[in-house]
Amino acid sequence: MTERKTITPTHRYRNNDKLIGIGNEFWDMSERNGLAGIVADLDAGSGVLRATEGHEFIAEGHEFVNFSCCSYLDLDSHPEVIEGGIDAMRRYGVLDHCIARSRVQIPAMRELETSLGELFGAQVVCSIAASTATFGLLPLIASGHLGNGTRPLMIFDKNAHVSMAGLKPVCADETEVVTSRHHDLDFIEDMCKKYAKVAYVCDGSDSLGGYAPVKELAELQDKYGLLVYYDDSHSLSAYGERGVGYVRTHSPVQDERTITVVTLNKAFGTSGAAIVLDGQSKETLRVIERFGGALNYSQLLNTASVGASLASAQIHRTGELTTRQNRLYANIELFDSLVRTEQAGSTFPIRLVPMSDATVIEAGRRVIEAGFYVSPVFFPIVARGTAGLRVMMRADQTEQQIRDLCAVLVAAGAEAAVPLPGEAVL
């Protein structure tokens, strides 16, 4: 009998053996300690969750405040956002219009794209998720169909979110793909000197804190024609006038050389995603719509999501958005005055409280037992040896909740912050 062949993977762009072999142990530890797989009811009025299933460490009925939620402005429970979803359902009488948008679409989607386009001052294409948008767009960039027709060298930032990094092998079937160190501007410039076209893929706002060097990248865009693909999901709504986000606020290059994807599920408070474009021809927009993978499947934003997003977009045009942003920034400042992190002093709503791989799960368990939930992060979410507790700040958190959480974090091993002389402590 002929011996059957086995396959030895090249692992050029991903390595599930490593990801799952190391990361799954941390996930199992998290679940055993009541830090994952939680089932809980939410009291939207107070922001308190109540466990509905018992656990070895977390009893049924245990109440805790969630400090691991990306709804930074708490718009997801805003009455106008909820009513917007209900009104749209009544107006159009259908939840999902299950047909490719390039064939037939109801006016609601066009209405939302027009509204968001006015908000951003850009062309907008909506998607069911930011990852879906990325799955559709990056291969088109790789083939040169979204660009000037030249296949670019595609540089993926080492810390690019998995929704982008997971497209490396797909893009590599269209062009050459490399990975750079985090925000390595020298490497990017060197590649720009060697290749006729270069595209850089990164987060505009990192899921572990911090912003991309958009001004420095803009200089490379002007000098070499660099195309930059940003996922700026974590800063949408929470940053900038009318909540347009960090990239849109600070990047001076707002033309076909900059493509930004943002989720509507975080601070925007609804569901879905928006692709923010400038200067694209009608023909290019049609290519995106027709050949952008799931962007053209029968899996569009449902009607309730569209209606809720229209309502949120209106809130973004009012002074209420600024009020909520300022409340968020005040809460961030209070946290920074009590617990030391590398992100201190930034308006970014995420703080990573460093812990060792050996202590992060135990520290997380002590925090939830004390009535707060922060998510432990570990490999492959972060590099090995750089584990921590990820704290997410929101506008509606109370001063007392923040002070109490910080006291628990310090007791669990976080380093207390010491205000500088003359610095106010809220």
Residue 4 belongs to a domain: no
pLDDT, tens digit, 9 for 90 and up, residues 146-197: 988 999 999 999 999 999 999 999 999 999 999 999 999 999 999 999 999 9
Residues paired with residue 70 on neighbouring β-strands, in sequence order: none
**Could you tell me if 206 and 263 lie in one domain?**
yes
User: What separation in angstroms does the CA of 33 have from each of 56, 132, 360, 375?
Assistant: 8, 33, 11, 12
Strand order in the sheet with 153-157: 123-127, 273-277, 258-263, 227-231, 198-203, 153-157, 177-180
3-state secondary structure 380-415: CCCCCCCCEEEEECCCCCCHHHHHHHHHHHHHCCCC
Quick one: tokens of 277? 């474009």
Give a yes or no: residue 12 inside a domain: no
Q: Which of 315, 339, 362 is the last residue of a domain?
A: 315
Q: Could you report the per-residue pLDDT of 44-103, keeping only the tens digit for each?
A: 656 788 888 877 778 888 899 999 999 999 999 999 999 999 999 999 888 887 777 777
Q: Are residues 224 and 336 in the same domain?
A: no
Domain co-membership, 213 together with 83: yes
Q: Indicate whether 291 and 258 sit together in one domain.
A: yes
- Rounded-to-integer distance, Cα 257 and Cα 226, Å: 7
240 and 213 part of one domain? yes
163 and 39, same domain (yes or no): no
CATH no. for residue 234? 3.40.640.10
Final residue belonging to a domain, choices 315, 331, 352: 315
Q: What is the pLDDT of residues 97-124, one digit of tens each?
A: 777 777 777 788 899 999 999 999 999 9
Give, rounded to a whole angstrom, the gap between the first and last alpha carbons of the chain: 77
- Structure pTM? 0.92
| Same-domain status, 62 and 174 | no
Q: Which residue has the tokens 């062009």?
A: 175
Do the Cβ atoms of 200 and 224 come closer than 8 Å? Answer: no
Residue 390 predicted with pLDDT over 70: yes
What pLDDT does residue 424 have?
Answer: 42
CATH of the domain at 29: 3.90.1150
Residue 8 lies in a domain: no
Residues 120 and 194 in one domain: yes
Same domain for 271 and 304? Answer: yes
106 and 161 housed in the same domain: yes
Domain count, the chain: 2
What order of strands is seen across the sheet that includes strand 350-354?
350-354, 388-392, 375-377
* Residue 258 structural domain: 78-315
| Boundary-marking domain end, from 292, 315, 338 | 315
pLDDT band per the 50, 70, 90 thresholds, residue 425: very low
- Token pair in block for residue 161: 């979110």
| 183 in a structural domain | yes
User: Does 218 share its domain with 285?
Assistant: yes
**Is residue 291 domain-resident?**
yes
Query: Considering the domain boundaries, does residue 271 fall inside one?
Result: yes
Spatial distance between the Cα atoms of 181 and 161, rounded to a whole number of angstroms = 14
- If asked whether residues 242 and 361 sit together in one domain, one would say no
Query: What's the gap between Cα 311 and its chain centre?
Result: 21
d(CA 343, CA 337): 12
Q: Specify if 13 maps to a domain.
A: no
- Tell me how far apart the alpha carbons of residues 338 and 417 are, in angstroms, rounded to a whole number: 5
Does 43 fall in a domain? yes
